[in-house]
Structure 1
Amino acid sequence: MSPVGTGRRKPAAPAEPQPAAVQEPEAEKDAGWVGGWSTGAQANSAALLRWLVWGLIALGPLLGALAYLSVPTTSAAPAPKAAPTAPTASGGQGAAGFAVLFVAAYLSAGDGDEAKLAAYYPPAANLQLEGVSGQHRGEQLTVVRLRQTDTAVWSVTVAARVIGAQPSATPSAQPGVSPSPEADPVRYFQVPVATAPGAGGATAYTALAMPAEVAGPERAKSPELVYGAMRPALPSDPHTQAVTSFLTAYLTRAGAELDRYLAPGTRLAAPSPAPYSGIAVDQLAVEGETGGEPVVSVPGDGTTLRLLVTLRATGQDGVRLPLTYALTLKARAGRWEIASLDGAPAVTSPTPAPSASGSPGPATTPTA
């Protein structure tokens, strides 16, 4: 029997698998573009970048030279020579103390003391000193002049009262009378002291020569003071009353009730313990007095007046000691109060010479 007759259909052969369709990206559909840039544009950009880099490389030296030339040049001038440094308190103080010690050793030195002086001035070890060691000595040594002669050199003048020296005799005008020697004269010695940095940041000192004896300092002429002539301190004078009350509290009561004699706003501390048992004001020199009758009336409130007071203060041993005070008084409520205890007497200011433009001249008539 034929298969057709059966009515069944022969199964078909399985179909060959087909590759899945790949969806092409939209960006790749337009051939020649990647990432939004064409291959031609990429090539142009790369070429431009290469030329730019080569251009910068070629221009580098030129740009560097221009930058160097644009900076202002400074001349290599030699540094100015440093001036000697100003005197310092530490260096001068140390040099002064070193000189005082050197002069003290120098005045008492004698035969065999060369090593003592060599500690200050090394070449002194080669000296041959004479006299007995310790025969002379210096007392009350003090520095009377200190000046800097170079960057690290100080000139120190030391005053000393020399004890044990044979004083020079003063000739006597009367025949047959032995001269009376001057006792313990004060002498002056100039010492050059060099300084240098020492160990641990300290300063080292050495003398550049042996001491040189020099003349004492010249005495200055006393300047003119603002006060009038000294006159007796009258008990009825308001000036005398004010200063006596104040100085009594100041010197004998250790400041007790001191404020009652002071002007408002004035603050003073009295010596403590009280050094004296009593005082007596002897004389006054009042500003503005010309030698006539003293003015004993008290002016209006707020008026100030300067005066100089000499007194004798009696110590605890009964010995009277002369003292002088410069005071400024201020008037208030019909009496004088102490406005200040001045550090020094007040001096008159020199009157300036009138200038040519400021001095009055003869009247002139302007011309046309």
Structure 2
Amino acid sequence: MKSLLTRRRSDEADQHGREDQQDWDIDSQPDHVGGWSTGAQANTSTVLRWTAWSLLLLGPLLAGAALLSAPTGTTAPAPPAAAAPSAAGSQGSAGFASLFVDAYLRAGEGDQDELAAYYPAASDIRLEGEPDQRTGKELTVVRLRQTDPGIWSVTVAARVTETPRPSASPADTPSAGASQEAGPGERLRYFQVPVATATTKGVGGYVALSMPAEVAAPPRIEAPELLYGPPRPAVPSDPRTQAVTEFLSAYLTARSGDIDRYLAPGTRITPIVPAPYKGIAVDHLSVEGEQGNEATTSVPADGTRQRLLVHLRATGVDEVRRPLAYALTLTARAGRWEIAELDGAPAPAPPTAPPASASPTS
């Protein structure tokens, strides 16, 4: 019995010894963190710490070396210049003012909200009369000027028709002398609108600064002198008459075949399609540098250029002949005149030099 107890105690002691040995073996193994041993982690931390201190200390030294080694002519890039104010808002201001004037002419009692879409303060303005008693047509911008940055003054012309009130007397209606070449019951009137412009998120915006102001018609100026001579009859024997007649027939009536045959090399002019006229008749030519009516039947040397103002009548589908005028530049080639350019406008005469003042005599 005693030996049995002794053997059991010996077995328990051996078991406790193996457990103690197992715990020691586990504790004696190195720790692992994220695949890195604690020893390796400590070494890495040390390396990183020294690397950070090295970069911190060497940074100013490297910057100074780079500054000293830069070429003397090198300068730092200048900051981008601020964009200059654009006048692109002029076209939008013109259209905005035309719409405002159209709504203003039609407005009557209760139309404040329609005008407030252009001029916000219009919601508090008193309006009288029935809507659409006064209407405008052929609204056209005749003057556009910038008064301040972002502010445009737009003058709009309109043919205004007013419906007279039933109780209106003849004295209240516009007189014929004030019609300014307008049709019956119409008056050509002018309205000035101040428009502010701004760009919001890349999109242009507009607003009127006040209600329209009715103003006088713009003054009519004296036409400048042109470089062409006086109109002379378009003689059929004149090679220039033949050239412009054939070209304008192809351009306006499409009856003379391919228009390119009348054009100088390199010139591109597209005829009107569909053709608006049935036929043309050239009446007069105003020729650059010619003051007389001498007949011309020859063509000068190749490369000679000459500008003309052509006066003609074109016959429409209604058999009515209507006057037209074209400024053309001709060039001579191979014994005939060709069209070098369809000018956008008649050319003005060159300015004349002021007469030289007489020198004082001794």
Which category describes the TM-score, using the shorter chain as reference length? 0.5 to 0.7
C-alpha distance in 1 between matches for 2:159 and 2:335: 52
Residues 205 and 341 of structure 1, relative CA distance in 2, 3 Å threshold = closer
> Highest CA radius of gyration, 1 or 2?
1
- For 2:41, the equivalent position in structure 1 comes to none
- Matched residue SS, 1:161: strand
Deviation at 1:274, TM superposition (A): 2.4
- For 2:296, the equivalent position in structure 1 comes to 295
- For 2:107, the equivalent position in structure 1 comes to 109
- Matched residue SS, 2:319: coil
Give CA-to-partner distance per residue, 1:308-337, whole Å, 9 cap, x none. Answer: 111112223433222111111222333222
Residues 255 and 151 of structure 1, relative CA distance in 2, 3 Å threshold = farther
Residues 154 and 234 of structure 1, relative CA distance in 2, 3 Å threshold = same
Matched ranges for 1:308-327 at <5 A: 308-327=309-328
1:254 touches 1:271 (CA, 8 Å); kept in 2?
Answer: no
Letter of the structure 2 residue corresponding to residue 243 of structure 1: V
Matched ranges for 1:1-368 at <5 A: 86-89=85-88, 91-164=89-162, 168-170=174-176, 183-198=185-200, 200-253=201-254, 256-353=257-354
C-alpha distance in 1 between matches for 2:292 and 2:104: 54
Deviation at 1:259, TM superposition (A): 2.4
Residues 352 and 183 of structure 1, relative CA distance in 2, 3 Å threshold = farther
- Matched residue SS, 1:250: helix
Residues 204 and 328 of structure 1, relative CA distance in 2, 3 Å threshold = closer
From the two aligned structures, give the one with the greater helix fraction: 2
Deviation at 1:214, TM superposition (A): 0.8
1:255 touches 1:271 (CA, 8 Å); kept in 2?
Answer: no
C-alpha distance in 2 between matches for 1:85 and 1:257: 48
Deviation at 1:183, TM superposition (A): 4.1
C-alpha distance in 2 between matches for 1:310 and 1:262: 20
Residues 120 and 265 of structure 1, relative CA distance in 2, 3 Å threshold = closer
- Matched residue SS, 1:276: coil
- Matched residue SS, 1:185: strand
Give CA-to-partner distance per residue, 1:143-170, whole Å, 9 cap, x none. Answer: 2222222223221111111123665214
Letter of the structure 2 residue corresponding to residue 276 of structure 1: Y
C-alpha distance in 2 between matches for 1:235 and 1:147: 48
Residues 202 and 329 of structure 1, relative CA distance in 2, 3 Å threshold = closer
Deviation at 1:120, TM superposition (A): 1.8
Letter of the structure 2 residue corresponding to residue 204 of structure 1: G
C-alpha distance in 2 between matches for 1:234 and 1:292: 10
1:227 touches 1:289 (CA, 8 Å); kept in 2?
Answer: yes
Deviation at 1:288, TM superposition (A): 1.7
C-alpha distance in 1 between matches for 2:157 and 2:183: 20
The count of residues paired between Structure 1 and Structure 2 equals 270
Residues 298 and 362 of structure 1, relative CA distance in 2, 3 Å threshold = farther
C-alpha distance in 1 between matches for 2:222 and 2:85: 29
Aligned CA-pair RMSD:
2.9
Give CA-to-partner distance per residue, 1:236-282, whole Å, 9 cap, x none. Answer: 22221111111112222277322222223323221223222211111
Residues 183 and 224 of structure 1, relative CA distance in 2, 3 Å threshold = farther
Q: Gaps spanning 5+ residues in structure 2: where?
A: 1-81, 165-172
C-alpha distance in 2 between matches for 1:153 and 1:245: 50
C-alpha distance in 1 between matches for 2:328 and 2:317: 25
Give CA-to-partner distance per residue, 1:62-90, whole Å, 9 cap, x none. Answer: xxxxxxxxxxxxxxxxxxxxx9964421x
Residues 151 and 316 of structure 1, relative CA distance in 2, 3 Å threshold = same
Residues 171 and 237 of structure 1, relative CA distance in 2, 3 Å threshold = closer
C-alpha distance in 1 between matches for 2:195 and 2:228: 44
Residues 352 and 143 of structure 1, relative CA distance in 2, 3 Å threshold = same
1:165 touches 1:184 (CA, 8 Å); kept in 2?
Answer: no
2:174 touches 2:185 (CA, 8 Å); kept in 1?
Answer: no
Residues 339 and 196 of structure 1, relative CA distance in 2, 3 Å threshold = closer
- For 2:22, the equivalent position in structure 1 comes to none
2:162 touches 2:185 (CA, 8 Å); kept in 1?
Answer: no
C-alpha distance in 1 between matches for 2:297 and 2:256: 27
C-alpha distance in 2 between matches for 1:314 and 1:156: 38
Give CA-to-partner distance per residue, 1:196-220, whole Å, 9 cap, x none. Answer: 444x443332221110011122222
C-alpha distance in 2 between matches for 1:187 and 1:171: 14
C-alpha distance in 2 between matches for 1:85 and 1:158: 28
C-alpha distance in 2 between matches for 1:290 and 1:347: 16
